[in-house]
Amino acid sequence: MRSTTASAKSPMSTASTASSVHRAAVPSRGWPLWRLGFRPFYLGALLFGALAVPLWIGLLAGHAVPRMVLPPLLWHAHEMLFGFAAAVICGFLLTAVRAWTGLATLRGAPLAALAALWLAARVAAFAAPYPVYAVLDELFLPCVAVALATVLVRARNWRNLPLVGLIVLLAVANAAFHLAARGDVAISPLRPLFAALALIVMIETVIAGRVVPAFTANAVAGSKPRRWRALEIATPLASVLGLCAWVFEAPPRLASVLLALAAALHLARWLAWRPWVSRGRPILWILHLSYGWIPLGFALLAAAQFAWVAESAGVHAFAVGATAGLIVGMITRTARGHTGRALQASPAEVVAYGAIVVAALLRVLLPLAAPGWADAARNGAAVAWTLAFAIVLVVFTPWLLAARADGKDG
C-alpha cells in the first residue's frame, strides 16, 4: 500500500486564502454567541450533557419528574443522540464549512433561530404534546443540512457533500424513530436509534480520519502519522457494511464477520497514526484514546452476535468511549482555536479528559468483568460523565459568550 504522511495543516483550523480574505472582510458585530456555529451548539450540548445524564439516573431511581412524552429509556437514548451528539456535530460542521469554503455560514439571527429550534425540541419532550415534540425535533437536522449544503454547493466543495448526506440520513432515522415510538410503523424504536448511532460513528470515522493525524503532525515534530490510501478506503467501506449488518439484523454469522473486519481495519488505521506519540499532550491523547474505542466497539458488537457479551457493551463503547470522548476532545481543541486561545489543555480540562475515560471504562468494561456490579458501574459512569461535562462547561462558557481573545471575527 502507498503510504503518505499527514498534512501539516489542520483541516478545520487552517483556512484557505479565500477564507482569510472573507473573514477580513466581515467585521465582528453582534453578540459573540451568534457569530459562528460552534458557540451556541457547543454551549447547549455541554449544558445538556451535564444535566441529562443525572436526570436519567434519577428516572431510573424512580424520582418524580414532569410529564414526559417518551418512556425514560427511549428519551435517554434518543436525546443523547439527537439532542446532545447532534448539537456538537452540527456546531462543528457549521464552523468547519466556513474554513473549508471561505464562505460565511449561519450567523446572527438565522443561527440564533436554529439554536432556538434545537432548544425548543429538548424542552418539548417535557412540555408539549408528542406531535409538537416530534415536529420540532425532526425539523432541526434538515435545516442544518440545507444550511451546510447551500454553502458547499456555492463553493463547489463536492468533497464534503457526503457529510451532508449523513446528516440527511440522521434525519431519516429520527423520523423512523418517532413513527416507531408512536406505533405508526411495526418496528422497534431501538432500531432507528441504533441506525443513528451507526451514522454518528461514520461521521466520526470521516472527521477523525482527517483531523487526528493532522493535529498529531502539527503538535509532535517528527511524529509522521500514516494514512494509507487503501486503508482509508477499506475502513469506511467495511464500517458501513458491518454497521448495516448490525442495524438491519443480518444473520449473526455474517454480521459478526463484517463487524470483526471493521474492527481490524479501524485498529490498523489507529495504530498507523502512532497514538503513543501523543503522550504528554492531553489535548491530543484524548482524541487518540477516544478513537481507540471504535475498533473495540466493533469487536464487542461482533461478539454480541453470538451472545458472548451484551449488545449494550458495544453500544456504549461507541456512545461513551468514542462519541463522548471525541466530543470532549474536539470541543476543547476547536473552541480554544476558534476563540483565539492556546491549544494547550488546562489542568481542569485534563481532569475532564480523565473523567470521561473513567466513565467509559466503568460503563463498558466493568459490567463485562463483574456483571453483578452493573448498576454500580452505570451510576459511577454517570457521575464521571457529569463531572467531565460540568468542568468543560464551567471553563468554556465565558469564552463561548465573549469575543475572540485575538480580536478576530468568529
- The type of residue at 21 is V
Stretch 67-82: mean pLDDT, rounded? 93
d(CA 355, CA 165): 33
Q: What is the pLDDT of residues 157-205, one digit of tens each?
A: 999 999 999 999 999 999 999 999 999 999 999 999 999 999 999 999 9
pLDDT band for position 62 (cuts 50, 70, 90): confident
pLDDT band for position 218 (cuts 50, 70, 90): confident
Side-chain-facing half-sphere of 321: CA atoms under 13 Å: 24
> Which percentage of the chain shows pLDDT scores above 70?
92
Q: What's the mean pLDDT when you consider all of the chain?
A: 91
pLDDT score of 108: 94
Place of cell 457521575: 383
* Angle between helix 38-60 and helix 374-401 axes, rounded to 10 deg: 150
> Is 23 a residue whose pLDDT tops 80?
no
pLDDT band for position 64 (cuts 50, 70, 90): low
* Angle between helix 86-101 and helix 38-60 axes, rounded to 10 deg: 170
> Is 12 a residue whose pLDDT tops 70?
no
More confident: 31 or 356: 356
> Is 15 a residue whose pLDDT tops 80?
no
> Is 332 a residue whose pLDDT tops 50?
yes
Nearest to 92 by CA among 198, 218, 207, 217: 207
Q: What is the pLDDT of residues 291-320, one digit of tens each?
A: 999 999 999 999 999 999 999 999 999 999
Who contacts 116 (Cβ-Cβ below 8 Å, separation ≥6)?
A: none
Who contacts 331 (Cβ-Cβ below 8 Å, separation ≥6)?
A: 42, 45, 46, 88, 392, 396
d(CA 1, CA 230): 6
> Is 66 a residue whose pLDDT tops 70?
no
pLDDT band for position 222 (cuts 50, 70, 90): confident
**Cell numbers at 139, concatenated:** 425539523
pLDDT score of 28: 59
DSSP for 63-102, please give it. ---S--SS-HHHHHHHIIIIIIIHHHHHHHHHHHHHHHHS
What is the three-class DSSP state of 10? coil
Stretch 68-76: mean pLDDT, rounded? 92
pLDDT band for position 29 (cuts 50, 70, 90): low
Helix and strand totals (H; E) in the chain: 17, 2
* Integer Rg of the chain from CA: 20
> Is 237 a residue whose pLDDT tops 60?
yes
> Is 235 a residue whose pLDDT tops 70?
yes
d(CA 228, CA 235): 11
Lowest mean pLDDT among 46-50, 145-149, 227-231: 227-231
> Which percentage of the chain shows pLDDT scores above 90?
85
Which domains does the chain possess? 31-401 (1.20.210.10)
d(CA 153, CA 298): 34
d(CA 10, CA 362): 33
pLDDT score of 22: 40
pLDDT band for position 67 (cuts 50, 70, 90): confident
> Is 21 a residue whose pLDDT tops 70?
no
pLDDT band for position 7 (cuts 50, 70, 90): very low
d(CA 305, CA 314): 11
pLDDT score of 174: 98
Q: What is the pLDDT of residues 359-394, one digit of tens each?
A: 999 999 999 999 999 999 999 999 999 999 999 999
More confident: 219 or 169: 169
